[in-house]
Amino acid sequence: MERVSREYLRSDEPWYVGFSGGKDSTAVLKLVYSAMKRSPRHERQVVVVYCDTGVEIPPIAQHVRRTLAKLRAEASGDSLNLRVRVARPPRHDSFFVKIIGRGYPPPTNKFRWCTDRLRINPVTRVLRSCDNGAGTVVLGTRRGESVERDKVLARHQLRSRYFYSQGRAARRVIFAPVADFTTHDIWSCVLGLDRPRAVDAETLAGLYRDADGECPMVRDEHGPPCGAGRFGCWTCTVIRRDRSVGSLIREGYESLRPLRDFRDWLSQFREDPRNRCRYRRNGQKGMGPFTLAARKKILARLRQVERSVPWRLLPAGDVKLIHELWAQDRACPEYRE
């Protein structure tokens, strides 16, 4: 905590706390909030940034939304200069518009298009809208999560093992105050610090049974796929088996079963060459986008799933754009039914 408090007082540039609702980002949020409470001055602006991809696991997304609503009220009551911003991908980049509208195959390790479109780019746009390029992004990144990630951290390290450069944003740095924390340290922080009270630590601990990992908020090509952890997308097809949703189903979230079954079906549907165009959009021969007929099958299946669960999975605006994209593809013989 002393490290965070010391850095909080160092300058007046804004801080951006990347928050997914998971244990690592929650630990960072608690450390930053405690530093703000202990500070004799609260001039530094802190912006908590959450990325809503539109395909977050619904019970998890509901938990995060409740947390953020309470956080806003608590910070206001404590007279802290803390704001909450929710980043979202533009409609043309949303998951199902890409897949059903444009025919993108669901992400794989070789074509992992989702992280940039759904998370990295929306968060980057929020950061750019808040300042002139200067500031500190505070993340729950930890060492030891993978060999490749540790290499990336070493390559971008700045003045200490807790500070890193952020790619092209030369005036914005990454501060990773829990870089050397063990999992035990993280949970000690989450459960031991009492502020902000907006965080329901016991509920969070319950959600984490048999799960680990969070999706990245800034570029991390070597991070785990989002579906490998509890705080990610229910649609993730990069992984072979979705342990997180399966674990939640076993814990009583039976309404998630149709989502998991759809995800498994879509992963298999992707591999059937009869569902794919013979040419890629760059003109090269090979398994290209889904055919229009395949996209209609996916939409029909998703609509069927949506009728069986208590959540809206496909906004009306997305459906309208999907049909517009279909009309464009009908002009190209290769993508006709």
What Cα–Cα distance (Å) separates residue 60 from each residue in 29, 175, 230? 17, 26, 8
Looking up tokens 């703000």, which residue turns up? 36
DSSP 93: G
- The amino acid at residue 259 is L
Residues 6+ apart with CB under 8 A from 92: 321
- The amino acid at residue 101 is G
Cα 249 to Cα 245: distance, rounded to the nearest angstrom: 6
Cα 318 to Cα 269: distance, rounded to the nearest angstrom: 21
Query: Which residue, among 214, 215, 174, 217, has the nearest Cα to 87 in the 3D structure?
Result: 217
Return the pLDDT at 219. Answer: 47
What Cα–Cα distance (Å) separates residue 292 from each residue in 68, 115, 322? 40, 25, 11
Return the pLDDT at 184. Answer: 92
Cα 238 to Cα 208: distance, rounded to the nearest angstrom: 21
Query: Which residue, among 145, 110, 122, 106, has the nearest Cα to 234 in the 3D structure?
Result: 106
For 158-174, the pLDDT digits (tens) are: 566 778 766 665 578 88
Residues 6+ apart with CB under 8 A from 312: 306
Phi and psi angles of residue 164, each rounded to the nearest 5 degrees, phi first: -140, 150
Which neighbouring-strand residues pair with 18?
49
The residues of the chain scoring below 70 in pLDDT are 40-43, 132-133, 144-160, 165-170, 209-230, 331-337
Instruction: Find out whether the peptide bond into 14 is cis, omega within 30 degrees of 0.
Output: no
Return the pLDDT at 157. Answer: 55
Return the pLDDT at 221. Answer: 45
Cα 214 to Cα 221: distance, rounded to the nearest angstrom: 14
Tokens of 108: 């794989």
Return the pLDDT at 220. Answer: 47
Return the pLDDT at 222. Answer: 44
